[in-house]
């Protein structure tokens, strides 16, 4: 498929997991793709790689400007960089709440602010935010993380309303448990990683974790021309977890 031919995409957190799978898929479908990440050293051609920290506005602005210059503009922003957090409201102090909100919410705001002037010049402009089922599922031990993703969901709806008349669509994906290096790190921290993985898989209605490629497919749909009439939506990619 070459439905992204002529389109230019920027993927934040694109060096690993869902972001890397998305960058690879968009490139395979004909897009020119740049990745923005804290550590883009493992990113190779044909992807362009820019080192930036989404908590640092100057570094985001610089990386987005460099990517737009190298690609000759921007059509798609995949706002994907994010970090996890465990615990109830009693387990994380104010500093930790600010730190995780800074990455997961303000990080997306900063990248959007830097990308919007370029997206306005595109004839096919789309932003896709990586949200989570945590935004609406009421997961235990995930108060802080869920609150950040609830904010991403609200942000997606508000941005969709703000920018629809400029021809910029804004949607999000809500993944369930995805088999990325992040989840691998959590499993490795357990006393028996293999047993922990088996238990996690058994909790999924499908009996397996979601693959990064499956989330990338949903992001590509929302970023691409076939979703041209879709804005302000959340697409679940959760193996049936939603609604259980």
The answer to whether 146 contacts ligand NAD (rule: CB under 6 A) is no
| Candidate residues 22, 122, 130, 231; the one interacting with ligand NAD per rule CB under 6 A | 130
19 near ligand NAD, judged by CB under 6 A: yes
Show Cβ contacts of residue 167 under 8 Å, excluding neighbours closer than 6 positions.
120, 122, 123, 125
Query: x-or-dash pattern for ligand NAD, window 163-182, by CB under 6 A?
Result: ------------x-xx-xxx
Enumerate the H helices of the chain as residue ranges: 17-28, 57-71, 94-101, 107-119, 134-137, 143-163, 181-188, 193-202, 212-223
Cα 196 to chain centroid distance, Å, stands at 25
Instruction: State yes or no: residue 233 binds ligand NAD (CB under 6 A).
Output: no
Member of 15, 27, 43, 126 binding ligand NAD (CB under 6 A): 15
DSSP code of residue 180? S
Q: Is 239 in the site for ligand NAD (CB under 6 A)?
A: no
Tally helices (H) and strands (E) across the chain. 9, 7
Q: Where in 66-85 is the site for ligand NAD (CB under 6 A)? A: 80-83
Site for ligand NAD in 199-228 (CB under 6 A): none
Active site residue 145: yes
Among 37, 74, 224, 236, binds ligand NAD (CB under 6 A): 37
How many other CB atoms sit within 10 Å of the CB of residue 161?
12
Q: Which is nearer to ligand NAD, 139 or 157 (CB)?
A: 139
């Amino acid at each position: 498929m070459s439905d992204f031919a002529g389109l230019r995409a920027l993927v934040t957190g694109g060096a690993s997991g869902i972001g890397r799978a998305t960058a690879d898929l968009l490139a395979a479908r004909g897009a020119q793709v740049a990745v923005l990440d804290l550590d883009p050293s493992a990113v190779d051609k044909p992807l362009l790689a820019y080192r930036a920290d989404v908590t640092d506005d100057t570094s985001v602005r610089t990386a987005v400007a460099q990517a737009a210059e190298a690609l000759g503009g921007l059509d798609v922003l995949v706002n994907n960089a994010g970090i996890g957090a465990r615990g109830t409201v009693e387990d994380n102090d104010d500093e930790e709440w600010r730190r995780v909100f800074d990455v997961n919410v303000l990080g997306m705001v900063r990248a959007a602010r830097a990308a919007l002037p370029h997206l306005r010049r595109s004839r096919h402009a789309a932003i896709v935010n990586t949200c989570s089922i945590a935004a609406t599922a009421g997961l235990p031990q995930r108060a802080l993380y869920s609150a950040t993703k609830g904010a991403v969901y609200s942000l997606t709806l508000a941005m969709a309303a703000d920018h629809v008349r400029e021809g910029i669509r804004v949607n999000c994906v809500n993944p369930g448990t995805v088999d990325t290096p992040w989840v691998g790190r959590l499993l490795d921290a357990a006393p028996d990683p293999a047993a922990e993985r088996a238990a996690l898989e058994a909790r999924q209605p499908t009996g397996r974790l979601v693959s990064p490629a499956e989330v990338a497919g949903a992001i590509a749909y929302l970023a691409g021309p076939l979703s041209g009439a879709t804005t302000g939506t959340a697409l679940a990619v959760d193996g049936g977890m939603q609604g259980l």
